[in-house]
Amino acid sequence: MPWYKKLHAKILIGMFLGFAFGLMSSMLGWNAFTDRWIAPWGSIFVNLLKLIAVPLVLSSLIIGVASLSDLKKLSRIGGKTLAIYFCTTFIAIVIGLTLVNVVQPGKWIPENVKNEILSSYQGDADSKAGLAVQSKDRGPLQPLVNMVPSNILQAAADNSEMLKIVFFAILFGIGILQVERKKAQPIIDFSQSIFDVMIRVVDMIMLTAPYGVFALIASTITKIAGNDIASVLHLIGSLSAYCILVIVGLAIHTFGVLPLALKLFSTMNIKTFFYGMGPVQLLAFSSSSSSATLPLTMERCEEKLGISEEVSSFVLPLGSTVNMDGTALYQSIAIVFIAQTLGFSLSLTAQLSIILALVLSSVGTAGVPGGSIVMSILILESIGVPAAGIGLILGVDRILDMCRTVTNVTGDAVVATIVASSEGQLRTPNLSEEGDGMVLRR
Ligand code: ASP
């Protein structure tokens, strides 16, 4: 197959053209056109992916848990998954805190630039702070309460409530394990059929990925640049040390720590892993949403990397909601950077004390664009730094969001690979491109 027909290449071309179009649109004042005629195609593409997320997660988790044959196996795989998720997130935070303390990017921002940025993003910062106050008022156990749905249909109606769906599906799966097999089989078969159909729907949606990605990138660039590219470049220039630090940290984690973990704890070839995950990473970058990327992550992990359905259907949906290495790394840098810029000196002990808050915040962050902003405000307030400081980083947040989402989805797939390998559930990867695109079956 010629290179330009491969999914990776098609998505990359879409991204590149989207970037060029977005820049042109800002420079020539076509923003209204892009907004009205191009951006909606990006929204349709992301909506299509989100549309199948709930049935996919529900059916896959039900099959995943029910096929674990007994509760002992469930707790073994579940325990292993959560432990590795915790370790990788912890390492990400340590990388972030180390970099921000060594480089100290906050010390390089001149006073006038700081005030200028703070005043131009004050409105946005205030509205995010308002959201943070609402969640803080509900008390420290609220994240736990948020996990348990009181009505499954209501939870299923909101994609940002994925943790509730995960909770229900695991509970339901455990229920299945307690019922006589003969009685449980129809519901397992039904879930299996839904799952198989959904995976084929992912193939269909991915046929439109290059166009969807073009529209997403074009509209993101237009939104970031507005009609005044010069002032955006000025903002990025002022915050360049911070942005570069976040990107370097994410690169160390994504292309250093995670592959090392694969090498040490799995039989997966690293090149094969990144080749199989390429389209997933490109989609995560373009959409800034790990929830929207989940259907493709599951499809590629099973069909290309050879991870068994039993493991991927349990580990990946859980990971897309609770495991966010990129978000944790970014937040650790962002919070200390804001404190440094505003002149608050955070002792090392104070910084170590927020590690738990950073881990919990990455668990509670929804896999949507900008999902972690409200959480960052809560952490800022908990260490006595004014929430308005978030205004310093809002202007460049979308760019960093694209990068951290890539790390988030890569982390989930690495953990799924390690768990599958340790359980003897990793088949030989199949990277042939035949599976890309729609397969018609009778
Ligand atoms: N956009 C990120 C994700 O979907 C969440 C965040 O860090 O804002 O994974």
Residue 89: which CATH number?
Answer: 1.10.3860.10
CB–CB of 437/201 below 8 Å? Answer: no
Tell whether the model's pLDDT for residue 169 goes beyond 50. Answer: yes
Tell whether the model's pLDDT for residue 436 goes beyond 60. Answer: no
Mean pLDDT along residues 266-293: 95
Question: Which residue type, as a one-letter code, is found at position 404?
Answer: R
- What are the CA-CA distances from residue 115 to residues 338, 385, 391 (Å)? 13, 16, 10
Q: Is the CB of 319 under 6 A from ligand 1?
A: no
**In a domain? residue 86:** yes
The residue among 6, 14, 26, 24 whose CA lies nearest residue 227 is 26
Q: Is the CB of 34 under 6 A from ligand 1?
A: no
In the chain, the percentage of residues whose pLDDT exceeds 90 is: 48
Instruction: Indicate the top mutation candidate among 365, 374, 406 to test ligand 1's pocket, ranked by most ligand atoms within 8 A of CB.
Output: 365
Q: Is the CB of 327 under 6 A from ligand 1?
A: yes
Rounded distance between C-alpha atoms, residue 160 and residue 49, angstroms:
14
Q: Is the CB of 397 under 6 A from ligand 1?
A: no
pLDDT-based confidence at residue 138 (cuts at 50, 70, 90): low
Rounded distance between C-alpha atoms, residue 36 and residue 21, angstroms:
14
**In a domain? residue 97:** yes
pLDDT-based confidence at residue 254 (cuts at 50, 70, 90): very high
CA of 403 to the centre of ligand 1 (A): 9
**In a domain? residue 440:** no
Query: How high is the pLDDT of residue 441?
Result: 44
Give me 365's structure tokens: 């962050």
Higher pLDDT, 70 or 390: 390
Q: Is the CB of 59 under 6 A from ligand 1?
A: no
Q: Is the CB of 370 under 6 A from ligand 1?
A: yes
Give me 64's structure tokens: 């995943």
CA of 11 to the centre of ligand 1 (A): 20
Rounded distance between C-alpha atoms, residue 283 and residue 87, angstroms:
26
Q: Is the CB of 376 under 6 A from ligand 1?
A: no
**In a domain? residue 100:** yes
Query: How high is the pLDDT of residue 439?
Result: 46
Classify burial at 104, counting beta carbons within 10 Å of its beta carbon; exposed 0-12, middle 13-18, buried 19 or more.
middle
Q: Is the CB of 320 under 6 A from ligand 1?
A: no
Pick the range with the lowest mean pLDDT from 120-134, 156-170, 300-314, 367-381. Answer: 120-134
**In a domain? residue 227:** yes
| The ligand 1 atom nearest the CA atom of 324 | 9
Query: How high is the pLDDT of residue 118?
Result: 78
Q: Is the CB of 25 under 6 A from ligand 1?
A: no
Instruction: Indicate the top mutation candidate among 325, 368, 407 to test ligand 1's pocket, ranked by most ligand atoms within 8 A of CB.
Output: 368
Mean pLDDT along residues 92-121: 86
Pick the range with the lowest mean pLDDT from 134-143, 257-266, 283-292, 311-320. Answer: 134-143
Look up the domain containing 370 and give its range. 3-428
Question: In the chain, what's the furthest Cα-to-Cα distance?
Answer: 72
**In a domain? residue 435:** no
**In a domain? residue 439:** no
| The ligand 1 atom nearest the CA atom of 409 | 9
| Structure-derived torsion over alpha carbons of residues 256, 258, 261, 266, reported in degrees to the nearest 10 | -120
pLDDT-based confidence at residue 435 (cuts at 50, 70, 90): very low
Residue 353: count of CB within 10 angstroms of its CB: 13
Average pLDDT of the chain is 87
Tell whether the model's pLDDT for residue 21 goes beyond 90. Answer: yes
Tokens 């050879």 -> residue = 306
| The ligand 1 atom nearest the CA atom of 327 | 7
The residue among 91, 81, 403, 400 whose CA lies nearest residue 257 is 91
Q: Which long-range contacts (CB under 8 A, 24 or more apart) does 432-439 make?
A: 433/1, 433/5, 433/6, 433/7, 435/203, 435/303, 435/304, 436/6, 436/7, 436/203, 436/206, 437/7, 437/203, 437/206, 437/207, 438/200, 438/203, 438/204, 438/207, 439/200, 439/203
**In a domain? residue 273:** yes
Instruction: Indicate the top mutation candidate among 131, 322, 405, 409 to test ligand 1's pocket, ranked by most ligand atoms within 8 A of CB.
Output: 405
Rounded distance between C-alpha atoms, residue 317 and residue 294, angstroms:
7
CA of 401 to the centre of ligand 1 (A): 6
Evaluate the CA torsion angle 77, 81, 83, 87 in order and state its sign. Answer: positive
Rounded distance between C-alpha atoms, residue 195 and residue 264, angstroms:
32
CA of 46 to the centre of ligand 1 (A): 14
Where is 108: in which H helix or E strand? none
From atom 1 of ligand 1, which residue's Cα is the shortest distance away? 369
* Whole-structure pTM value: 0.88
Tell whether the model's pLDDT for residue 442 goes beyond 60. Answer: no
Phi-psi region of 29 (alpha: psi -120 to 50; beta: other; left: phi over 0): left
Higher pLDDT, 318 or 5: 318
From atom 3 of ligand 1, which residue's Cα is the shortest distance away? 367
Give me 425's structure tokens: 């559930």
CA of 123 to the centre of ligand 1 (A): 22
CB–CB of 96/328 below 8 Å? Answer: yes
**Highest mean pLDDT: which range of 2-6, 61-65, 169-173, 347-351:** 169-173
CB–CB of 15/214 below 8 Å? Answer: yes
| The ligand 1 atom nearest the CA atom of 370 | 8
Q: Per residue in 224-259, is it b (16+ CB within 10 Å) or e — as a string?
A: bbeeeeeebeebeebbeebbebbeebbebbbeebbb
State how many domains the chain has: 1
Mean pLDDT along residues 362-378: 85
Query: How high is the pLDDT of residue 415?
Result: 97
pLDDT in tens, 172-230: 988 998 899 899 999 999 999 998 899 899 889 989 999 999 999 999 888 888 767 77
Q: Is the CB of 300 under 6 A from ligand 1?
A: no
Rounded distance between C-alpha atoms, residue 235 and residue 257, angstroms:
31
pLDDT-based confidence at residue 401 (cuts at 50, 70, 90): very high
How much of the chain is in helix, strand and coil states, percent to nearest 5?
80, 0, 20
Q: Is the CB of 89 under 6 A from ligand 1?
A: no
Give me 104's structure tokens: 């100290």
Query: How high is the pLDDT of residue 433?
Result: 64
Rounded distance between C-alpha atoms, residue 76 and residue 166, angstroms:
18
Instruction: Indicate the top mutation candidate among 49, 283, 288, 294 to test ligand 1's pocket, ranked by most ligand atoms within 8 A of CB.
Output: 288
Query: How high is the pLDDT of residue 164?
Result: 85
pLDDT-based confidence at residue 108 (cuts at 50, 70, 90): confident
Query: How high is the pLDDT of residue 40?
Result: 96
CA of 432 to the centre of ligand 1 (A): 30
